[in-house]
């Protein structure tokens, strides 16, 4: 896994991870990448982590907390892509289009990535 994926995993130990955070971590790992490359890598990061069973994708709703999307990953990525790529230049439109919730398996992997004391 690359450093962005590892950082997204470790971020999930503290709280749900909003999509802008994924984008930001991908940018920090690839500061010279073009917008298109950042978008592709951000979407691939979500796809890889969810497909590997390390995260669930969904939304956060007041009073309910994290609510997973009960749709295939390809459909979830299409939903994210429509906002993220389609409205990239519009501030605040896509930042919270999706949230990631660490699974038990993801928690184990993330904890194994933490620095040893």
Predicted pLDDT of residue 54: 98
Query: How many CA atoms lie within 13 Å of 37's alpha carbon, on the beta-carbon side?
Result: 9
What would you report as the CA-atom Rg of the chain, rounded to the nearest whole angstrom?
Answer: 14
Domain span at residue 69? 3-111
pLDDT, tens digit, for every residue of 95-108? 999 999 999 999 99
pLDDT, tens digit, for every residue of 33-54? 999 999 999 999 999 999 999 9
Shortest CA distance to 9 belongs to which of 48, 35, 62?
A: 48
For residue 117, tell me if it sits in a domain. Answer: no
Instruction: Say how many domains are in the chain.
Output: 1
Shortest CA distance to 1 belongs to which of 58, 57, 41?
A: 41
């Amino acid at each position: 896994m690359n450093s962005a994926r590892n950082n997204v995993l470790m971020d999930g130990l503290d709280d749900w991870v909003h999509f802008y955070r994924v984008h930001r971590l991908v940018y920090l790992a690839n500061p010279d990448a073009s917008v298109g490359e950042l978008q592709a890598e951000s979407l691939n990061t979500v796809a890889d982590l969810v497909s590997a069973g390390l995260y669930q994708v969904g939304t956060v709703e007041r009073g309910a907390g994290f609510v997973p999307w009960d749709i295939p990953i390809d459909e979830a990525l299409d939903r994210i892509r429509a906002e993220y790529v389609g409205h990239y230049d519009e501030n605040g439109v896509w930042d919270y289009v999706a949230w990631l919730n660490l699974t038990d398996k993801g928690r184990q992997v993330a904890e194994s990535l933490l620095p040893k004391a």
